[in-house]
Amino acid sequence: MSYSEHYLPWIIAGRGWGVDNPLEGLQDPKLIHTRTGRINFDSIIRPTLLNHITVAVDRYQNTGYTKTGGWDQKIGLTGLPYDNGAVPYVLFSGGTAAPLTLSNADYYFQGYTRYSLVENLTWTRGRHSMKFGVNYLHEGNGVADGRTGQGQFTFSNAQTSQPNAGGNFSSWGSATASFLLGEVSTAQTQRPWPAGSPGALLRLPPHSKRRSGGAPVLVLPQTPLWPSGQQPVSPQTRSCTPPQ
């Protein structure tokens, strides 16, 4: 008989903003927990007949949650139907000296359990030894994924480049300037989903509505992508245009 357990709670950083900075998008808590158990039993039926059986259970758990803090209310970016309160996940692309990525998109739980049974019979007859056996394995997976629930926004230099730039269009402009002006290149949020139900993306076109004297607001519908009680059979997307 044997049992082993590995418990590893930790905090994952690496954006470069600093561990105490909410823009870092810490995975806190980040937890990996594995457990394995084995029972082996041998029995001698007679001198030439040996029976061996193994019963085993394995459990693997992996969680990764971006640290939350009610940031949808703090920064005024409300209306995202699946917001988890983490700092919005913001990416920059194109132009010169694009800033570091803000926050993180991870928000998930993964659990895997496996049961196995091994049975074999060894028979020795004269100069020959023969083994007969069977191996049964059952594995169950449980996954809950809510990545990008707080919104994923990409800002590109293209939104602030010059329309008459010609061959320089892709290099002119600034992703930082696009961010400060609220000119979103792409934006999306994802509906949380369990195992067996594909995640649904709710994508926004590159438009924004600006409050008078305030920050740009992205407006998303509050209704789910599928009727209550129904599960999608494949990933789907739907676009919406904020009011002008």
Q: List pLDDT tens digits, range 143-201.
A: 878 788 888 899 998 888 888 878 888 788 889 899 988 888 888 888 776 644 444 44
Whether the bond between 29 and the residue before it is cis, its omega within 30 degrees of 0, is: yes
Report pLDDT digits (tens) over 50-75: 999 999 999 999 988 888 888 888 88
> With 50 as the cut, is the pLDDT of residue 111 above it?
yes
The DSSP-derived string for 154-219 is EEEGGGGS-TT-GGGTTTSSBHHHHHHHT--SEEEEEE-EETTS--EEEEE-S--EE-TTS-EE--
Q: What is the mean pLDDT of residues 11-16?
A: 75
213 or 37, which is more confident:
37
Q: What is the mean pLDDT of residues 106-119?
A: 90
- The DSSP code for 102 is B
Q: How many CB atoms lie within 10 A of CB 147?
A: 21
> With 70 as the cut, is the pLDDT of residue 244 above it?
no
Distance CA 99, CA 93 (A): 9
pLDDT of the residue at 194: 64
Name the amino acid, one letter, at 28. Answer: D
Q: Which long-range contacts (C-beta less than 8 Å, at least 24 apart) are formed by 2-5?
A: 2/36, 2/37, 2/38, 3/35, 3/36, 3/37, 3/38, 4/35, 4/36, 5/33, 5/34, 5/35, 5/36
Per-residue HEC secondary structure of 22-82 comes to HHHCCEEEEEEEEEEEEEEEEEEEECCEEEEEEEEEEEEEEEEEECECCHHHHHCCCCCCC
Are the CB atoms for 137 and 113 separated by under 8 Å?
A: no
pLDDT of the residue at 204: 46
Q: Which residues pair with 19 in a beta bridge?
A: none
pTM over 0.85, yes/no = no
